[in-house]
Amino acid sequence: MKRSFKGLKGGAPNDSYDAVIIGAGIGGLICANLLAREGLRVLLTEQHYMVGGYCSTFRRRGYTFDAATHFYPLLGNSGTITGKLLQELGIRTEWVKMDPVDHFHFPDGSSFSVPADFEPYLAKLKREFPDEANNLDQFFEVVREVYLLGLLCYFRGHDTDRLGPYRDMTVREALDRSFRNEKIKLLLAGDCGHWGSPPSRTSFVFDSMLRLSYFLGNYYPRGGSQAFADELARRFEELGGQILMRSLVRRILVNKGSACGVEVETEAAGGLESLRKLRPSHPCFLTYFGLRDMPVEVLREAEGYYWDSWDSDQVATSAFKIFVPTLFEPALAPSGGQIVIVQKLTDLDYEAMIDWTAHKLTIEQYIITNLERRIPGLQEKIAVKLSASALTSHKYTLNHHGAMLGWEMSPDQLGSKRPDVVGPIKNLYFVGHWTQPGGGITPVIVSAMRAAEMITRGRNVAPVEAAALAGANADELNPRQSG
């Protein structure tokens, strides 16, 4: 695949930099751009031969598959903090808006599509569940409030007592409190697979933030995930940054308690002891299909989350998701071809796993059997098929246990209970989904903005994105008003 950026290609890096960033995931790439834009001399190191981490793609026989991420909330909407940031950084990625946003297929064979605008969504819910109309109004009233308070607290660092009743609440508790009907509860948690944890262990505050952000636009990058990551890398080089590919940073060099390089093992590990008590999110198993001669309408119908249980806490055993990227970007497949990607959370003991091959075959078989039920004749149309387990995720991105979203996004692992952007030693900062505010593209970008701001704040340059981070009008972020 032709890269739109050069990378150092084995050439020697400079003797010194103002900042070294380890890992070219979206967190590292955004932070690298922000620092380079402020005139810092920045080196970005990446152990893989591609940038993007969980936002990369791979190719097989003419088909281009997103390795992991496929929903990019807000990024195509320049009226939002993160959409505006990309525009200000000069990122030229084009975004395809998703409408409907999601589909759910229930155990009784019924299904529900989520429209891209909030009012039609709420009206549709009320039509489907007329007895729950009042409960729905009350529930979304709370969701809206929590969404704004959550943004203030977790994204902008302004804590407020008003968040008190909701801070420790899980999605499950919020739904049980508001509804009795099992179907509406599953519908409102039907997409919980993207949290990498069941609703009883997922923060209601973060779920509310994501739920409403979809109505400000949910996007897919033209050209696939790699096109976005490559564009970030290209722009970073244009700003004078350097990228060192295929370079695993094994140690961080520390001098007088301050991080100053990336070669020698540091004593920083002592400061990271508390991390061992945190739980990682589940890994996500993926099977990638390149199809021939499959009618697009069949796939449009088949897209979405499938549930075999009414209990959304069974997400790692009784649910999977079908995503069809060629509905948004046909150029990812050869002419007449389609791509189907199936995602399934897995609940496994990573350390105890002995036979990864057998594990892979078992889950793959489960997926194929289920797909064949939903898309009869699928097997005859397969031109390419590959699967990725937790081991594969770890191999390509080094994510601990192949976790999908960093530390689980449960209330007891958020805020100050999650590792801070500021590391335990001077000049060491963390970005990405293992740090605050959390996992998913939007929180990861926010972590990069925070780190860049902290790094540049002490220097004689304007704070990066301080205005965007602190000054966005809450109403601008309220999907009800923005439609």
Ligand X SMILES: Cc1cc2nc3c(=O)[nH]c(=O)nc-3n(C[C@H](O)[C@H](O)[C@H](O)COP(=O)(O)OP(=O)(O)OC[C@H]3O[C@@H](n4cnc5c(N)ncnc54)[C@H](O)[C@@H]3O)c2cc1C
Beta bridge partners of 476: none
Copy the structure tokens of residue 314: 């069974």
The candidate with the shortest Cα–Cα distance to 277, out of 164, 386, 157, 418, is 418
Residue 447 CB, nearest approach to ligand X (Å): 8
Could you give the string, one character per residue 200-229, with x where binding to ligand X holds by CB under 6 A and - elsewhere? ------------------------------
Residue 128 CB, nearest approach to ligand X (Å): 25
What is the number of other CB atoms lying within 10 angstroms of the CB of residue 465?
25
Alpha helices in 341-440 (DSSP H): 356-374, 390-397
Residues 6+ apart with CB under 8 A from 239: 33, 36, 37
Residue 429 CB, nearest approach to ligand X (Å): 13
- The CA dihedral of 201, 207, 209, 211, to the nearest 10 degrees, is 170
Residues 6+ apart with CB under 8 A from 203: 169, 170, 171, 409, 410, 411, 414
Q: How far apart are CA 201 and CA 405, in angstroms?
A: 13
From 16-24, 168-176, 303-311, 460-468, span contacting ligand X (CB under 6 A): 16-24
Q: Which residues within the stretch 300-359 sit at the binding site for ligand X (CB under 6 A)?
A: 343
Q: Which residues within the stretch 178-197 sit at the binding site for ligand X (CB under 6 A)?
A: 194
From 34-42, 48-56, 109-117, 174-182, span contacting ligand X (CB under 6 A): 48-56
Q: Is 74 in the site for ligand X (CB under 6 A)?
A: no
Query: Of 8, 17, 21, 23, which one interacts with ligand X (CB under 6 A)?
Result: 23
Query: Of 57, 82, 387, 397, which one interacts with ligand X (CB under 6 A)?
Result: 397
Residue 25 CB, nearest approach to ligand X (Å): 2
Give the binding-site size for ligand X (rule: CB under 6 A): 36
Beta bridge partners of 429: 422
Which residue carries 């505010």 as its tokens?
437
The candidate with the shortest Cα–Cα distance to 152, out of 479, 473, 481, is 473
From 49-57, 272-280, 296-304, 468-476, span contacting ligand X (CB under 6 A): 49-57
Q: How far apart are CA 21 and CA 27, in angstroms?
A: 10
> Which residue lies nearer to ligand X by CB, 26 or 122?
26
Strand-pair category, 42-45 with 242-244 = parallel
Query: Of 20, 21, 26, 34, which one interacts with ligand X (CB under 6 A)?
Result: 26
Contact 288, 375 (CB under 8 A): no
Residue 352 CB, nearest approach to ligand X (Å): 21
Q: Which residues within the stretch 412-441 sit at the binding site for ligand X (CB under 6 A)?
A: 432-433, 439-441
Query: Of 7, 17, 27, 294, which one interacts with ligand X (CB under 6 A)?
Result: 27
Per CB under 6 A, residues contacting ligand X are 22-28, 45-48, 53-55, 68-71, 194, 248-249, 284, 286, 343, 393, 397-399, 404-405, 432-433, 439-441, 444
